[in-house]
Chains A and B, each alone.
Chain A
Amino acid sequence: MDFTLSKQQKLVQQMYQEFAQNEVKPLAKKVDAEEYFPKETVEKMAKLGMMGIYFPKEVGGAGADVLSYVMAVEEMSKVCGTTGVILSAHTSLCAAPIYENGTPEQKAKYLPKLCSGEWLGAFGLTEPGAGTDAQGQQTTAVDCGDHWLLNGSKIFITNAGYADVFIIIAITGTVTDKRGRKSKEISAFIVERNFPGFSVGKPEEKMGIRGSSTCELIMEDCIVPKENLLGKKGRGFQLAMATLDGGRIGIAAQALGIAEGALDETIAYVKERKQFGRSIAAFQNTQFELAEMKARVDAAKYLVYKAALKKQEAMDGAKVRYSVEAAEAKLIASRTASDVTRRCLQLFGGYGYTRDYPIERMMRDAKITEIYEGTSEVQMMVISGALLK
């Protein structure tokens, strides 16, 4: 596995780092404390071509690659976990499924505006009764001849309050398998915010990524044009799972970034903080803690980058799947993020527990990466499923 960055990737990484330090980091505290959705950051990222990084220029993308996208989420998350997930959900959960499954007309209509950042994207799969049990969907879509009629609700939808375009998963009927067992037929739809019957509920109050807009979506006789069925009818569950494979690489990158950011803050702090007449960096406990955390962060990084390179192969046309790579990356990176931020906070001591330092925010932000876009337990189901098939 070759992780040598190309000259383009090196330059793009340098740009992300400058951007994160100058534009994202100064807002991070406000984003958390005031549950502030950083609209201005999204606009700035859009200007720099960051809202469609790995899509080709023909559809309005920046013509870069998956690793360059992963590094963007990583660098933003180093200083602000909220900004990282806005970018990840928009790219991986909305633009990607349209790019991968859309008709030429759907791509032409939605991708240029998503990639330019004029429109923000979101994805609706989870329902009150359908979390890890994603097949337990209740939202229905009825074929009414010239349009679909959607009814139901989705919860915990990232970007919901500000998104213009949503990928919605809904039941379109029942199917009977060879043995006569009935199951739900699930399909995917592209739903625009202003479609009649569509509304966004109030934002959730969360432990971490507090600036990220997480809301309920309500569809009451929501009229969706016929041509907005995404992918084949009845293939919505597979589309959702494949989309989450990509999404997990984004969340793994977010987790990686949070862990790296916490480590950066801690390295600076332990050099400054003095106890017993010397800096706490001089104590072996500090040194060993830092050393082990760094090794774990690097291990996570290689898994995340490996998953990105595997997805790139698929983007380049190879018939490969990256479900297992994505699951491994997310499992390890998210656990690393939770573990590293907790241990970093311990090195900060009492100061780390206060809001004067960013470390407690990073610890709160880290936890969600073990939960959304498939819990760690789901990742283990994916990995073991592949091992034991």
Chain B
Amino acid sequence: MKAIVCVKQVPDTSGKVAVKENGQLDRASMATITNPDDLAALEAALRLKDATGCEVVAVSMGPFTAESMLRECIARGADRAVLISGREFGGSDTFATSQIIAAGINKIGVGPEDVVFCGRQAIDGDTAQVGPQIAEKLGLPQVTYAAEIEKDGNSLIVKRLLEDGYMKIKVQTPCLITCVKELNEPRYMSVPGIFSCFDSEIEVLDYPALQDDPLIEVDTIGLKGSPTNVFKSFTPPQKGAGTMLAGDDVANQLATILAKKHLI
């Protein structure tokens, strides 16, 4: 039994955002973190490992710098890490990305008892599309927005967190679950984990390794395979500091200010 976890290295949104001239994010010059929802997915997989002894495989698609994040996954308790990386994959949108990751997961292999865990969405794109698309392309049943996961024989009982309530769904393995931050409290890296993670091999799946997969075609991956294109990225101008009005006559004060600015 395996738990395959999709993780993404994303810019640290508490730091500076840099944009390249072509409008894409300049990821190389920004501090990075592991996507918070993905940490919840990893924790869910590690809890499944604690309960069943299953193998946990962390998978990421990205540049070679994502290797450090995968090592951190090992330091937290993952058994294996796979990096899907290649020039051919660059510029992929969510459609092309899910084609490639699904091919990567095919390569790792999905057994009858296996579960694929994804974070709900990445804090850089905020699309929440990649997880569900991977499930579609692998032909797996999917449950999104998981806030609780319970193992029940060959099935999982998943509590979905929705805007106006919960929904409980029983799903058979193999399946794909997307996880929200509220699902759990991700564990820390351990000291022995950190000291051994640099000795672990990060398996790399590049274009030649995946090209035989039917999902991988020239027009399904990379910039060419992406139906969506970034038109423009920009940092919105910062708003000035607000003024808090206090006292019994806030309405009068507000009217005076608005009048001064010739807004009324």
Q: Which A residues form the contact surface with B (CB < 8 A)?
A: 7-8, 11-12, 15, 18-19, 47-50, 53, 57, 62-64, 68, 72
Does B72 have its Cβ within 8 Å of any Cβ on chain A? yes
B75: contacting residue among A11, A50, A53, CB under 8 A:
A11
Does B166 have its Cβ within 8 Å of any Cβ on chain A? no
Does B192 have its Cβ within 8 Å of any Cβ on chain A? yes
Not counting A49-B190, A64-B194, a sample of 6 additional A-B residue pairs whose C-beta atoms are within 8 angstroms of each other reads A11-B71, A12-B189, A15-B189, A48-B189, A62-B192, A63-B196
Measured in the bound complex, the distance between the Cα atoms of B211 and A187 in whole Å is 70
Say whether, besides A11-B72, A11-B75, A48 and B198 are in contact (CB < 8 Å).
no
Of B71, B72, B189, B194, most A-chain CB atoms within 10 Å: B194
B192: contacting residue among A7, A11, A63, CB under 8 A:
A63
Of A11, A49, A63, most B-chain CB atoms within 10 Å: A11
Q: B198 touching A49 by the CB < 8 A rule?
A: no
Q: Which B residues form the contact surface with A (CB < 8 A)?
A: 71-72, 75, 188-198
Q: B188 touching A49 by the CB < 8 A rule?
A: no
A-B pairs with beta carbons under 8 Å apart, 22 shown: A7-B198, A8-B194, A8-B195, A11-B75, A11-B194, A12-B189, A12-B194, A12-B195, A15-B188, A15-B189, A15-B194, A18-B188, A19-B188, A47-B190, A48-B188, A48-B191, A49-B190, A62-B190, A63-B192, A63-B196, A68-B191, A72-B191
Measured in the bound complex, the distance between the Cα atoms of B192 and A47 in whole Å is 10
Cβ distance B81 to chain A, nearest Cβ, rounded Å: 15
Determine the main DSSP class of A at the interface with B: helix
Q: B190 touching A48 by the CB < 8 A rule?
A: yes
Cβ distance B241 to chain A, nearest Cβ, rounded Å: 16
Of A12, A18, A19, A68, most B-chain CB atoms within 10 Å: A12
Q: Which residues of A contact B196 (CB under 8 A)?
A: 63
Cβ distance B68 to chain A, nearest Cβ, rounded Å: 8
Q: Which residues of A contact B71 (CB under 8 A)?
A: 11
Q: A64 touching B188 by the CB < 8 A rule?
A: no
Measured in the bound complex, the distance between the Cα atoms of B189 and A62 in whole Å is 12
Q: Which residues of B contact A8 (CB under 8 A)?
A: 194-195, 198
Of B188, B191, B192, B195, most A-chain CB atoms within 10 Å: B191
Q: Which residues of A contact B193 (CB under 8 A)?
A: 49
Q: B189 touching A11 by the CB < 8 A rule?
A: yes
Cβ distance B73 to chain A, nearest Cβ, rounded Å: 12
Q: Which residues of B contact A63 (CB under 8 A)?
A: 192, 195-196
Q: Which residues of B contact A62 (CB under 8 A)?
A: 190-192, 195
Q: Which residues of A contact B194 (CB under 8 A)?
A: 8, 11-12, 15, 64
Of A49, A50, A53, A68, most B-chain CB atoms within 10 Å: A49
Measured in the bound complex, the distance between the Cα atoms of B87 and A246 in whole Å is 51
Q: Which residues of B contact A11 (CB under 8 A)?
A: 71-72, 75, 189, 194, 197
Smallest Cβ-Cβ distance to A60: which chain B residue? B192
Q: B198 touching A64 by the CB < 8 A rule?
A: no
Q: Which residues of B contact A49 (CB under 8 A)?
A: 190-193
Measured in the bound complex, the distance between the Cα atoms of B71 and A64 in whole Å is 16
